[in-house]
Amino acid sequence: MKRLTAIAAVCLLASAGAHAADPNLGRNLAATCANCHGTNGKAVPGGGMDSLAGESKAKLLQKLADFKSGDKPASIMHQITKGYTDEQLSLIADYYAAQK
Amino acid sequence: MMLMKRRDFLKAAAAAGAMASLYGCAGGNKAGGHVVVVGGGFGGATVAKYLRMWSEGSVQVTLIERNPAFVSCPISNLVIAGTKSMEDITVSYDNLKSKWGVRVLQDDVLAVDTAKRSVKLAKGGEMSYDRIVLSPGIDFMFDQIPGLNNAAAQEKIMHAWKAGPQTVTLRKQLEAMKDGGTFAIAIPKAPYRCPPGPYERACVVADYFKKNKPKSKVVILDANEDVQSKKGLFVKAWNDLYKDTIEYRPNSEVKDIEVASNTAILEFDKFKADVLNVIPPHRAGNIAAQSGIKLINNRWVDVDWLTMESTSTPGVHVIGDAIFPAPTMPKSGHMANQHGKLTAAAIINLLAGQAPNPTPVVMNTCYSFVDAKNAIHVASIHQYDAATKLVQPVKGAGGVSAARNELEGKAAMGWAKNIWADMLA
């Protein structure tokens, strides 16, 4: 019953916090990019948008960081990346890296 | 876990599940049930697909849409300008059916009984739901422009603010107009669908005139006191490209029209055009008011931003242009798609007895063409704020283009292809 106590304790802890994270938070955040980058990061071929599915997390995070800092020139991504926290960008990168 | 016998584990898991639901913690319950989606536009098609995809088929979805195929408002101004066709902006619902298992009914909803949780269909019969998503877009308040408040007038004076037959008719009217004629577009007071859309239309029609009917003019009759979106970029385009073609008139609300003479009647003035394009004020699609859910200003639906559920009526979620927007949030197809995803995630959680995501994020990107090839954009990101219970724009993020360019024109078409696929492929 130790296990049950532990699970219940985790749940209680999670629900006590104002920001108990949704288990699908990464999926939900990544979906905000899909309008341009395709459902689950699979962009329409020939549409001129980057596919993100299956890219390595390190590469995705570096790109996002470079957009955010302004190191990588962009027409729009420098403005969009600033709207997400680094933690959110990390969850987004995790999600897309895991897509096949 | 290794030390636990399977039977004990199952018992423990069940007990933990009970604890979890008691405390609103995510348990392992799977979402099930039937969701009816009313309206297959940017919001409705997205929520239908994402409900099926994210529930892995365990939530049944019926999409009720009156049109046989999706026709996109974004890019429809290029059809009006003659550089794109209706075929270019029309997408089938077939993939929603065959690939995602959405039941798509070409029908109209006559009424929603929110107490019984059922809808009445125009073609007959009723359908029950566990949750319903209304994505009804807008309906026009023709009574605000008395001369336009009859069928004959509406066959002659286009709004073309819902892509479809009116888009085609407005294009034909422009083609038939003599060189030296005037096209007038009347913009209602904000909030209205697609804030930059009317200015984009003025630009691409002016581009068509310059190339084909160079003596012709475009007059913008704006009910607002100033340009509502991308002001600097539009004004620059008008000055650089259309100095002799486009005339912008702020504070020019159309109060009435004389249909026979194509005349817009303003408060202190009249304006006669060869082609008159009047976008009447609008409100949430009629089914919203008919359902008895709470509206703000008798026009827009008040929603809870964690779930997009009506603040007055449990089980009814409303998305897209029909809602009373959060601060600085535009009525756009892109935003409707984002509402659709937020709602799909929330409904799946709720149907599984779990709390909705406490930290939703939505974002907007909107491209406008200023001629056949060059475009400009505006973008914004909106994060949920627990203190105000609204999604709030992130300060310092988002913004507009540095300058119009062809690269953004290509991006605009890339955006369109990808968002259509995100909804419907």
Q: Tell me: pLDDT of B356 over 70.
A: yes
B407 with A75: CB under 8 angstroms? yes
**What tokens does B3 get?**
């030390």
Q: Which of A25, A32, A49 sits opposite B363 (nearest CB)?
A: A32
Q: What is the pLDDT of residue A17?
A: 44
Q: Which residue of B has its CA nearest to A29?
A: B361
Q: How far apart are CA B304 and CA B289, in angstroms?
A: 17
CA A59 to chain B, closest CA, distance in angstroms equals 22
Single-letter residue type at B70: F
- Provide the residue ranges of all domains of chain B, joining segments of one domain with +: 30-140+283-355, 142-280
List all residues 6 or more positions away from B181 whose beta carbon is below 8 Å from its beta carbon.
Answer: B213, B216, B217, B274, B275
Write the class of the CATH domain B30-140+283-355.
alpha beta
Q: Which of B342, B359, B407 sits opposite A19 (nearest CB)?
A: B359
Going from the first residue of chain A to its last (100 residues), give the mean pLDDT of each consecutive group of 10, the final group possibly shorter: 41 47 97 98 96 98 97 96 98 97
- What residues of A are in contact with residue B15 (Cβ under 8 Å)? 4
| Cβ density class A10-41: b for 16+ within 10 Å, e for less | ebeebeeeeebebebbbbbbbbbbbbbbbbbb
Q: What is the pLDDT of residue B187?
A: 98
Q: What is the pLDDT of residue B303?
A: 98
Q: Considering chain B, what is the average pLDDT of its residues? A: 94
Q: What is the dihedral of CA B163, B165, B170, B171, to 10 degrees?
A: 90
**Structure ipTM:** 0.91
Query: Structurally, what CATH architecture does the domain formed by B142-280 represent?
Result: 3-Layer(bba) Sandwich (3.50)
Per residue in B5-19, pLDDT (tens digit) is 333 433 333 333 333
Strand B270-272 and strand B275-278: the pairing is unpaired
B216 with B177: CB under 8 angstroms? yes
Provide mean pLDDT across the span B203-215. 98
Instruction: Test A36 with B4 for CB contact under 8 angstroms.
Output: no
Strand B217-222 and strand B103-106: the pairing is unpaired
3-class SS of residue B379: strand
Per residue in B102-123, pLDDT (tens digit) is 999 999 999 999 999 999 999 9
Q: How far apart are CA B425 and CA B419, in angstroms?
A: 9
Please enumerate residues of A whose Cβ is less than 8 A from a Cβ of B.
Answer: 1, 3-4, 7-8, 10-12, 14-15, 18-25, 27-29, 31-32, 34-39, 43-44, 46-49, 75-76, 79-84, 88
Instruction: Test B414 with A47 for CB contact under 8 angstroms.
Output: yes
Q: Tell me: pLDDT of B407 over 70.
A: yes
Q: How far apart are CA B107 and CA B125, in angstroms?
A: 11
Q: How far apart are CA B196 and CA B174, in angstroms?
A: 21
Instruction: Test B357 with A28 for CB contact under 8 angstroms.
Output: yes
Instruction: Test A20 with B419 for CB contact under 8 angstroms.
Output: no
Q: Which of A71-85, B14-28, B73-87, B152-166 has the lowest mean pLDDT?
A: B14-28
Q: What is the pLDDT of residue B137?
A: 98
- What residues of B are in contact with residue A45 (Cβ under 8 Å)? none
Residue of B171, B164, B226 lying closest to B195 (CA atoms): B226
Per the rule left: phi > 0, alpha: psi between -120 and 50, beta: everything else, B57 is: left
**B30-140+283-355 and B142-280: identical CATH topology:** yes
B101 with B63: CB under 8 angstroms? no
Residue of B138, B137, B134, B136 lying closest to B36 (CA atoms): B134
Q: Tell me: pLDDT of B420 over 80.
A: yes
Q: What is the pLDDT of residue B109?
A: 98
Largest CA distance in chain B: 87
CA B4 to chain A, closest CA, distance in angstroms equals 9
Single-letter residue type at B347: I
3-class SS of residue B140: strand
Task: Give the strand order in the sheet containing B33-38.
Answer: B103-106, B59-65, B33-38, B131-134, B316-318, B309-310, B303-304
At residue B423, φ and ψ (nearest 5 deg) are -85, -40
% of chain B surpassing 90 pLDDT: 93
Q: Which stretches of B172-328 are assigned E, i.e. beta strand? A: 182-187, 217-222, 246-249, 256-258, 263-265, 270-272, 275-278, 282-284, 295-296, 300-301, 303-304, 309-310, 316-318
Q: Tell me: pLDDT of B241 over 70.
A: yes
Whether the upstream peptide bond of residue B191 has omega within 30° of 0, thus cis, is yes
Q: How far apart are CA B200 and CA B258, in angstroms?
A: 26
Provide mean pLDDT across the span B19-35. 62
Provide mean pLDDT across the span B191-198. 98
Write the class of the CATH domain A23-97.
mainly alpha
